[in-house]
Amino acid sequence: MTLIKSISGIRGTIGGKPSENLTPLDAVKFAAAYGIWLKEYSKKEKLKVVIGRDARLSGEMIQNIVVSTLVGLGIDVIDLDLSTTPTVEIAVPLEAADGGIILTASHNPKQWNALKLLNEKGEFLDAEQGAKILAIADKEEFVFSEVDDLGTILRNDSYIDIHIDEVLNLSLVDKEVIKAAKFKVVVDGVNSTGGIAIPKLLEELGVEVVKLYCEPTGHFPHNPEPLKEHLGDISALVIKEKADFGIVVDPDVDRLAFISNDGEMFGEEYTLVACADYVLGKTKGNTVSNLSSSRALRDITEKHGGTYEAAAVGEVNVVTKMKATNAVIGGEGNGGIIYPESHYGRDSLVGSALFLMLMAEKGGTVAELRASYPSYFMSKKKIQLTPGLDVDGILVAMADKYKDEEISTIDGVKIDFAENWVHLRKSNTEPIIRIYTEAKSQAEADKLADRVISEIKEVAGL
């Protein structure tokens, strides 16, 4: 049980003691801190905030608390109710709102929830803004509105449909081209809002949809992080249904993974590679991903004549780098597609449409497409943090140990070897050290990760 405060938002487990977990009191405190910061930041008399949530079990409770807290501050709320992270992101500017809050713990299990905070562009706050909100929350010097100045609540449950229309209107998405390909696709919505949004989008595009876990009950049928070890059911169903491929999303629909026609993982890292391949083939330009993402994106970008750059982990860092380099597409290797023509946020609806266009134009199978890309294999492991563990000291020691290699310290420590790399960093969303490696074979990637874990334990005296 824990409460984590970071630039990714305020995230914690439901129940337990205030300030140790995400309790109703903590939800009030951080929602109020955001509202007070927003008043100072926007310098406006009357504010409007968009709220949406995934389908997790605690969602309605947290939503009611957050909405009522903002109303108590005199802020008007547009309540999207069941929604997706990218849907809330596009709703903020469309509604000319001053900010937004998404109630979701993303890929975390059902006991978790979180407040993800957006600015007036529908983009995540930067570290400095997040720090100001945390400082306001710590002081707890809240002043709420008097009765005549309370905010109002407007329910609007049409935004998933509006979001789908926005995707259909993208210049590189042609509904008729996709419809003519007569795709059959299995969708695993992990019993959250992806089970609403993705099938609706695919049906609009003329795709035959086979639904798996698409009821938004919040009872996740498997670990909601879209990794191979959690996706046996959809892999089997893709083969059984003789589907062209499968689509898997996390509970808030900002991470996208594909299952190839042979039931194998396309690879979360290759979601961005494939979408970038399609976009760069139509629009010359640059790409950005984070330090923990595959080298394959760099290879594809350079093949199309563009320049690739790496940002620190965290969507806000990738977006900042994308804007600085005028990137035409970017994202994160965990299946997050950021396509600026739509908006600066990870969006599984946009990614699904771009991938369908790529497949419709290329022909062949998804397995053949995957085989056509540079072949890298990743290992993603973690070490659970214990109280008193000096993470910063461990990272410094590891950087020193490999000081003769190419080192980046903009986000933890990344060590680039000639044939592979390892990235060590403290997670923003869980009490762990993440150890990501990439190599030319799975065995090599796993071996490198295990070696580094042993070295970390030796340094830490574990």
pLDDT in tens, 215-242: 999 999 999 998 889 999 999 999 999 9
Q: For residue 314, what pLDDT is reported?
A: 87
Average pLDDT on 352-373 reads: 97
Whole-angstrom distance, CA of residue 453 vs CA of residue 461: 12
Q: Is the pLDDT assigned to residue 1 strictly greater than 70? A: no
Return mean pLDDT, the chain: 95
Domains 3-156 and 162-372 share a fold: yes
pLDDT in tens, 22-52: 999 999 999 999 999 999 999 998 999 999 9
Domain covering 3-156 in this structure, CATH number: 3.40.120.10
Burial of 164 (C-beta count, 10 Å sphere; 0-12/13-18/19+): buried
Phi, psi for residue 366 in degrees, rounded to 5: -65, -35
Whole-angstrom distance, CA of residue 70 vs CA of residue 67: 5
Structure tokens at 420: 């592979």
Structure tokens at 401: 């140990």
Q: Which CATH class is domain 377-460?
A: alpha beta
* Residues 172 and 279 sit within 8 Å (Cβ to Cβ): yes
Architecture of domain 162-372: 3-Layer(aba) Sandwich (3.40)
Average pLDDT on 393-414 reads: 93
pLDDT in tens, 57-66: 999 999 999 9
- Cβ atoms < 10 Å from Cβ of 1: 12
Residues forming the active site: 106
DSSP 146: P
CA 331 to chain centre: 9
Show Cβ contacts of residue 303 under 8 Å, excluding neighbours closer than 6 positions. Answer: none
Q: For residue 4, what pLDDT is reported?
A: 84
Domain residue ranges of the chain, discontinuous segments joined by +: 3-156, 162-372, 377-460
Structure tokens at 277: 């391949």
Q: For residue 179, what pLDDT is reported?
A: 98
* Residues 286 and 361 sit within 8 Å (Cβ to Cβ): no
Q: For residue 8, what pLDDT is reported?
A: 63
